[in-house]
Copies of this chain bind each other. A is one copy, B any other.
Amino acid sequence: MDMKALLINCTLKPSPAFSNTGALIDKAIKLLKHHDVETEVIRIVDYNVKPGNSSDEGKGDEWPKVLSKIKECDILIIGTPIWVGHLASTAQRIVERLDAIFHEKELADEKTGQYFTYNKVAGCLITGNEDGAHSCAAQLLWAMQECGFTIPPNVNAYWVGPAGGNKDYVEAGGKKYFYTNLTLQYTVANLVYFAGLLKSNPITTNLKELEKQAKKDSE
Contact = CB atoms under 8 A, between A and B. Distances in A.
Interface stretch (A1-9, A64-72, A158-166): A158-166
A170 interface: no
Residue with the highest number of chain B CB atoms closer than 10 Å, among A117, A163, A183: A163
The number of chain A residues touching the other chain, given as a range, is 35 or more
Interface of A: 12-13, 27, 45, 51-53, 83-90, 92-93, 95-96, 99, 115, 117-118, 130-135, 137-139, 141-143, 145-156, 158-160, 162-165, 176-186, 189-190, 193-194, 197, 201, 203-205, 207, 210-211, 213-215, 217-219
29 contacts: A12-B51, A12-B53, A51-B88, A51-B90, A84-B99, A84-B134, A84-B143, A85-B134, A85-B142, A86-B95, A86-B139, A88-B96, A132-B134, A134-B135, A134-B142, A147-B153, A150-B150, A150-B153, A164-B180, A176-B217, A181-B214, A181-B217, A182-B210, A184-B214, A185-B211, A185-B214, A186-B210, A190-B203, A201-B201
